[in-house]
Amino acid sequence: MDIDTNLLKDLEGYVIYSLDYKETSRIIKIFTKRLGVISVMARGAKNPKSKKMNLTSPYCKSKFNLKKSRGFYYLIDGEIIDANLGLRTSIDNLYYSQLFSEIILKTVYENMENNEIYDFYDKILKHIDKIERKDILLAMFLLKYSSMLGYKPNLLSCINCGKDRFNRVYFNIDYGGIVCQDCYGPVGGIALSRQDYTYLTQLLYEKIDRADEIDFPKARADEINRILMRFLFDKTEIKKLNSWDLIEKLKLL
């Protein structure tokens, strides 16, 4: 029996990045359930008649058949599980899909254990077109995802003295948690209102599908997202997120 060990069958994953390559091909990054994020060459994928065209579209969830050769993967064929067409109904949906995917791309590596992250990403993508408040969905993503990477912020007690009752609270990015009024000064932090603080705890403990039930002013939510983004940058190797810069720029228009 001739078994090609370099053949990978039914590898479930999402295309999270797609780049045209030469005349007819594409290089894609697939966020897989089993192997983390991998780079795949899809020959002939730019041909509209090729079945590979849809398989290499961003945010499509598929089962891929790949061949591995010299450390690189090649797309043979596959089967679409969910084209996530809902994401394509508005430009907003696409910007946020792009942002979530770029964060995954920059924090998940090949062969990294990622079952929890994969299921989380899967759930987030399924909710983008159903949630009105994308700013709150993003905040939930940032807090929950930072937690999955091992940086769950301590919101329940002061990171310095352990006190769990406060008159005033501050968020310290370095230590990843809150600072009480008595410790603030020697220990730095960003001032949070009582409403901000309640909002942060809701983000951490509330389910994604309930994002629209959280009532929080838009302008303040934007500010909290900037803080959470700084927190994520501080804890990971992310230096820049093009899709985030774009979303921020569009707000000024």
| Contact residues: Zn ion, CB under 5 A | 158, 160-161, 163, 180, 183
Q: How far is CA 166 from CA 147, 154, 159, 201, in A?
A: 23, 14, 12, 14
Of 145 and 166, CB closest to Zn ion: 166
Residue that the structure tokens 């370099």 belong to: 6
Cα 111 from Cα 128, distance rounded (Å): 27
Measured from the CB of residue 183, what is the shortest distance to Zn ion in angstroms? 3
| Of 29, 34, 28, 37, residue with least CA distance to 12 | 34
The nearer residue to Zn ion, 171 or 244, going by C-beta atoms, is 171
> What does 182-200 look like in DSSP terms, one character per residue?
TTBTTB--EEE-HHHHHHH
Q: Which is nearer to Zn ion, 136 or 158 (CB)?
A: 158
Least separation in angstroms between CB 177 and Zn ion? 10
Report, in Å, the least distance between residue 184 CB and Zn ion: 8
Count how many Cα atoms sit within 13 Å of the Cα of residue 32 in the half-sphere of its side chain.
Answer: 24
Q: Work out whether the CA dihedral 87, 90, 94, 100 comes out positive or negative.
A: negative
Minimum CB–partner distance for residue 214 and Zn ion (Å): 27
Is 81 or 161 the residue whose CB approaches Zn ion more closely?
161
Comparing CB distances to Zn ion, the nearer of 84 and 160 is: 160
User: What residue type is assigned to position 191 of the chain?
Assistant: A
Nearer to Zn ion, 28 or 180 (CB): 180
Q: How far is the CB of 162 from Zn ion (least distance, A)?
A: 7
User: Rounded to the nearest whole angstrom, what is the least distance from the CB of residue 181 to Zn ion in the complex?
Assistant: 8
- With tokens 């008649």, the residue in question is 49
Minimum separation from the CB atom of position 150 to Zn ion (A):
23
Q: Which is nearer to Zn ion, 146 or 160 (CB)?
A: 160
Alpha carbon distance 149, 122 (integer Å): 16
DSSP letters along 202-216, please? HHHHS-GGGGGG---
**Which tokens sit at 93?**
């949906």
